[in-house]
Amino acid sequence: MLAYNELRKDYLLNRWVVIATDRSRRPTDFAKQRTESDQNSLCPLCVGNENMTPPALLLYLKQNEEIKTDRDHNGTRSKNWLIRVIPNLYPAFSPPKDQTDQAQIIKSGSYGFAIGHHEVLIESPNHDEDPADAELPQLTLLIKAYIDRLRELCAKPYVKYISIFRNYGKEAGASLSHAHSQIIATPTVPIIPAQEIEASKKFYEQNQKCVFCDIIKKEVKSPRIVIDNRHFVVFAPYASVHPLEFWILPKKHASNLLGLSKAEIKAFAETLRTSMKALKDLVNDPPYNFSFHLSINHKSENYYHWHLEVYPRLSIWAGFEKNTGMYINTVKPEISAAELRKILQA
């Protein structure tokens, strides 16, 4: 009998992936020898080297037993920080210098100014901090810092989207090895979130419900589920484009993280740590990218549902993926989920 590879379409995007199981690779086939990173060069993000970076625009400072929020003042740099957010030295997007610039972000249909913000969020004073084994209070602070920056940036009239993401490992594009995330605020909504938001709007108009709430209901009963706890679900998406890809979705419907309660922030930190730890243990600390998908447009409150997408970088995409936008995944999402569940139960 002729066996074909499966062709699967994303829940919302018009993006197809070939699940090429005939290569029958197991997720653990991707585990590789850990290459020693060059630890010799001076780290500008480490404690004591604050003067190598611009002044912090947000600091969580440790004061006695309290956490105080502040920023660097008048050329001084605080050293007793737990979290430090600084402008990127080489920003892709820069704040407007005056009002006229704000009005001219998009000058025509195909030309504009890259106005926005580009920040580096230093996640810990500890150089090698990793969400997979961070202390829960510190990881909770990290989520709070994401939310603080989101709140401030989304209030700016020229900001239409905010991408919060983490690149881990050289292969995933991290140029600095100190634990950090990046935040980029853009003057237009980039194509992938824009398509997701548009498709979820359409679904809402046709079905009077949120497509992601629907996906959660289906995936908790599917072989792709990894974690199902009180506040969050983690699953390998049906049309995963990466081996071991997983998404974290809040059970409470919300279009972004601004309305998370204290308990939910803590639960998110825990869920993030647990799932990142499973990935780390399963394939020996792989490089990855994770990024939040969210909406800051009030109109999409009812139909868009924020989530975190985690892309392990275990295989190198070749010409086909880059040229066509169609993907080949050599590990079935159901297998990825089963392996992650197995390591969680171990």
Summarize as ranges the residues that interact with Zn ion (CB under 5 A): 43, 45-46, 127, 178, 210, 212-213, 253, 293, 305
Task: Report the residue number, 45 or 142, with the smaller CB distance to Zn ion.
Answer: 45
Active site residue 293: no
Shortest distance in whole angstroms from residue 139 CB to Zn ion: 18
What would the 3-class secondary structure string for the chain be?
Answer: CCCCCEEEECCCCCCEEEECHHHCCCHHHHCCCCCCCCCCCCCCCCCCCHHHCCCCCEEEEEECCEEEEECCCCCCCCCCEEEEEEECCCCCCECCCCHHHHHCCEEECCEECCECEEEEEECCCCCCCCCCCCCHHHHHHHHHHHHHHHHHHHCCCCCCEEEEEEEECHHHCCCCCCCEEEEEEECCCCHHHHHHHHHHHHHHHHHCCCHHHHHHHHHCCCCCEEEECCCEEEECCCCCCCCCCEEEEECCCCCCHHHCCHHHHHHHHHHHHHHHHHHHHHCCCCCEEEEEECCCCHHHCCCCCCEEEEEECCCCCCHHHHHHCCEEECCCHHHHHHHHHHHHHC
142 contacts 269 by C-beta, under 8 angstroms: yes
Report the DSSP pairing between strands 225-228 and 81-87. unpaired
Ramachandran angles phi, psi of 62, nearest 5°? -90, 115
Question: Among the options 117, 118, 180, 307, which is catalytic?
Answer: 180
Shortest distance in whole angstroms from residue 127 CB to Zn ion: 4
Task: Report the residue number, 158 or 290, with the smaller CB distance to Zn ion.
Answer: 290
CA distance 63 to 110: 50
Shortest distance in whole angstroms from residue 22 CB to Zn ion: 28
CA distance 234 to 337: 9
Shortest distance in whole angstroms from residue 45 CB to Zn ion: 5
Task: Report the residue number, 160 or 305, with the smaller CB distance to Zn ion.
Answer: 305
Shortest distance in whole angstroms from residue 1 CB to Zn ion: 36
CA distance 307 to 309: 7
Shortest distance in whole angstroms from residue 247 CB to Zn ion: 7
Shortest distance in whole angstroms from residue 29 CB to Zn ion: 27
Task: Report the residue number, 115 or 233, with the smaller CB distance to Zn ion.
Answer: 233
Task: Report the residue number, 45 or 145, with the smaller CB distance to Zn ion.
Answer: 45
Task: Report the residue number, 22 or 135, with the smaller CB distance to Zn ion.
Answer: 135
Task: Report the residue number, 61 or 120, with the smaller CB distance to Zn ion.
Answer: 120
Ramachandran angles phi, psi of 327, nearest 5°? -120, 160
Catalytic annotation, residues = 180
